[in-house]
Structure 1
Amino acid sequence: MENPRSGEVIVVGSGVIGLTTAVVLAESGRQVRVWAREAAERTTSAVAGALWWPYRIEPKALAREWALESLSVYEELAVRPEETGVRMVEGVQGESRLDELGPWAARVPGLRASTAEEYAGTGLWARLPLVDMPVHLGWLRERFVKAGGTIEARTVTDLAEAEAPVVVNCTGLGARELVPDPTVRPVRGQLVIVENPGIRTWLVSTDADAGTTTYVFPQPDRLVLGGTTEDDVWSLTPDPAVAAEIVERCAALRPEIAGARVLDHRVGLRPVRDTVRLEREVLPDGRVLVHNYGHGGAGVTVAWGCARKAAGLTRPTASA
């Protein structure tokens, strides 16, 4: 006789990885609870610039598969941008060349070499998903609840607290202490939010000599300026000097940004790991623990692909 609780799943974590995984599980008919230390709007995901692009994430081959699977979902969601927070927006990925990318790039909409008018250096023009994360996280939460899921505010100090037949660990940086997994580390990112002076395209520019990546992401009601990549820095307090430097770098690329009114300063800690941990573990008592963390700054890019893989690993017949 089947255990009546065998379909129960607890997803620990309410960022974009946790909520997307919970949606996939709930919509497959599972009974799912999300344990959230904080509301989704207060997670690292809420701070993300959230442009789809498979960068700085390993293993590369799998990450590109997950990214393309997610791209297909985002293209569908972009039909309802006000509801889902997803829009398809054109822009330039600087310091990139077509011949440096693999076969996966053929699937990217509008991908071509940028012109001199579009970007002063070598770059790629593309039409990519750009996600308004506060809107998207709220939409994911609503979709999850509509599928029968529940969200519980709970701070977890040990994954053993989650007494369900299946537990999915989507705790991001929290996995460092919870697993514990000391290979997960923070990479600090600081953003400046300003009024949009009329910019409609996104831009990412990398200065290898200076070690900086500068980006401009237009959202419906604001302009997101970045950024920083500070390894092993835990501070969530915005640095005014860093903020001024971010605005200066962005204005050098798009002069109309100079003088734009600053609306907010934000800091997020990317949960970086040498490789994403997406695997199944059978505990001594027979319960299943699926890990889905370590996506760094590419969580949005691979969210749906990873969620579907993680959901598959929760099935009794899944291979370890």
Structure 2
Amino acid sequence: MRPAPFPQLDRRAVAAGLAALALPGCATTRPESAASTAARGLCLPPVKASPDRMIRAVAGLRPYRKSGFVVRRDTLGDTALVHNYGHGGAGITLSWGTSRLAVDLGLPGHTGPVAVIGCGVMGLSTARLVQDAGFAVTIYTDDLPPATTSNIAGGQWHPYGHFDRDSVTPQWRAQFLAAADYSWRRFQLMIGDAYGIRWLPTYNLGGTERQLLPTFPPENHELTRAQHPFPIDRAARFTTMYVETGRYLRQLIRDFRIAGGAIARRKFTAPGQLAELPESLVFNCTGLGSHNLFGDTGMTPARGQLAILLPQPEIEYAYTGRFGYMFPRPDGILLGGTFETGQWDATPQDADIARIIDGHRRLHADLRCPA
């Protein structure tokens, strides 16, 4: 399954949205240019892709909507309800941005405590922004990390697999650009070991469309056959951020609790139950759960399967494309993957995991040093 491309947008149509989401005083960090690094002709150490190095296999269900994520304000009687869900494979990437959009829809004119439904990356990001605005927050959730879909995410900052370009509106495209811009800069404030976020050079090995937007990620650099080590004629290279999701979510929960937040375990089966909460403003960050809870039939799971191998600290690059993807993290080497729409079974399939590992093994067996 090919990832969804970045849309081509009229920048003037979203200028106001970008200004509203701006992070004052935040300068965009520019890592070293990929072209200069590629020109060194560095050899890349191979990933030891074999079944005997696998720590575990996992499968997650991405909350995919052809028409893109939902950020919208509704009402339930006297309760204001703001939706923030349906991000497909771009949940980590867009989390701060769409949460910013949602908070800006919900907070103006509100007084009193606030409820957030869901404790994945979207719920935690929304809750932290509400706290930053000075409100008391309770997160109501059925599952806590590490038992959330966000924990299984690969953690690459790159909007992927979250809309069908023929199904979205110009208004949604404007939301997307504003959210991506804010999120790109917000994550840069959190680079380092505390949140498990770092920059990595990344190779695009073809089979995916990648239309870049200004300021993020830094520009693609096309490489000749002599400038990369992979067994294909053409590749490209860019630099982006990677998030160690387990560490990142644990830190967000710590931040939330330090700021006075409360977490209550509760499962909701009908929208009316939200109106019974003591808070008069509720943010719905239930992801795929909105399919049943709010009857969003446009929501469908897109199963992603991963083989996680023992860590290799010497692997300081990543890749995506026709061979799948490889993201190195301190907690393991992530090999993917699949994008299986309509599949509700979150169980890794032995045959698929074996195929993923073998595909990466064959790729690395053919690595060579650039000329």
Note whether the superposition's TM-score is higher than 0.5: yes
Answering whether residue 241 of structure 2 is matched by residue 150 of structure 1, we say no
Question: Relative contact order, CA 8 A, sep 6+: which one is greater?
Answer: 2
Answering whether residue 179 of structure 2 is matched by residue 66 of structure 1, we say yes
Q: 1:17 to 1:247 in 2, by over 3 A?
A: same
Counterpart-to-counterpart distance in 2, 1:133 and 1:244: 24
Which range is displaced more, 140-149 or 153-162?
153-162
Partner AA of 2:337 in structure 1? G
The match for 1:25 is: 130
CA contact (8 A) 1:95 1:121 kept: no
Matches within 5 A, 1:179-198: 179-197=294-312, 198=314
Give CA-to-partner distance per residue, 1:133-188, whole Å, 9 cap, x none. Answer: 01011111111112221111111112332322101110000000111211111111
Matches within 5 A, 1:196-235: 196-197=311-312, 198-206=314-322, 214-235=324-345
Partner AA of 2:140 in structure 1? W
CA contact (8 A) 2:156 2:243 kept: yes
Counterpart-to-counterpart distance in 2, 1:126 and 1:60: 23
Answering whether residue 366 of structure 2 is matched by residue 247 of structure 1, we say no
CA contact (8 A) 1:105 1:111 kept: no
Q: 1:242 to 1:158 in 2, by over 3 A?
A: same
TM-score for the superposition, normalised by structure 1: 0.70
Q: 1:125 to 1:13 in 2, by over 3 A?
A: same
Give CA-to-partner distance per residue, 1:39-80, whole Å, 9 cap, x none. Answer: 1211111000110112333444432331221111112211x2
Give CA-to-partner distance per residue, 1:204-227, whole Å, 9 cap, x none. Answer: 013xxxxxx600000013100000
Q: 1:39 to 1:237 in 2, by over 3 A?
A: same
CA contact (8 A) 1:15 1:43 kept: yes
Q: Give percent identity, aligned residues only.
A: 29
CA contact (8 A) 2:208 2:321 kept: no
Partner AA of 2:328 in structure 1? P
Q: 1:232 to 1:125 in 2, by over 3 A?
A: same
Q: How many angstroms does 1:84 deviate by? A: 0.4
SS of the residue aligned with 1:83? coil
The match for 2:94 is: none
Partner AA of 2:125 in structure 1? T
Answering whether residue 143 of structure 2 is matched by residue 38 of structure 1, we say yes
The match for 1:139 is: 251
Counterpart-to-counterpart distance in 1, 2:311 and 2:201: 16
Q: How many angstroms does 1:256 deviate by? A: 9.0
Q: 1:30 to 1:145 in 2, by over 3 A?
A: same
Matches within 5 A, 1:158-197: 158-162=270-274, 163=277, 164-197=279-312
Aligned residues: 243
Q: How many angstroms does 1:234 deviate by? A: 1.1
CA contact (8 A) 1:96 1:122 kept: no
Unaligned runs of 5+ in 2: 1-109, 164-171
Give CA-to-partner distance per residue, 1:65-99, whole Å, 9 cap, x none. Answer: 31221111112211x2x21011111111232799x
The match for 1:9 is: 114
Counterpart-to-counterpart distance in 2, 1:40 and 1:177: 21
Partner AA of 1:109 in structure 2? P
SS of the residue aligned with 1:130? strand
Q: 1:11 to 1:121 in 2, by over 3 A?
A: farther
The match for 2:202 is: 91
Q: 1:121 to 1:178 in 2, by over 3 A?
A: farther
Counterpart-to-counterpart distance in 2, 1:238 and 1:132: 21
Which range is displaced more, 15-24 or 188-197?
188-197
> Which protein has the bigger strand share?
1
CA contact (8 A) 2:184 2:216 kept: no
Counterpart-to-counterpart distance in 2, 1:96 and 1:243: 20
CA contact (8 A) 2:207 2:321 kept: no
Counterpart-to-counterpart distance in 1, 2:255 and 2:207: 36
SS of the residue aligned with 2:355? helix
CA contact (8 A) 1:94 1:121 kept: no
Q: 1:121 to 1:138 in 2, by over 3 A?
A: farther
What CA RMSD, in Å, does the superposition of the two structures yield over aligned residues? Answer: 2.3
CA contact (8 A) 2:201 2:317 kept: yes
Partner AA of 2:350 in structure 1? P
SS of the residue aligned with 1:77? coil
Q: 1:165 to 1:202 in 2, by over 3 A?
A: same
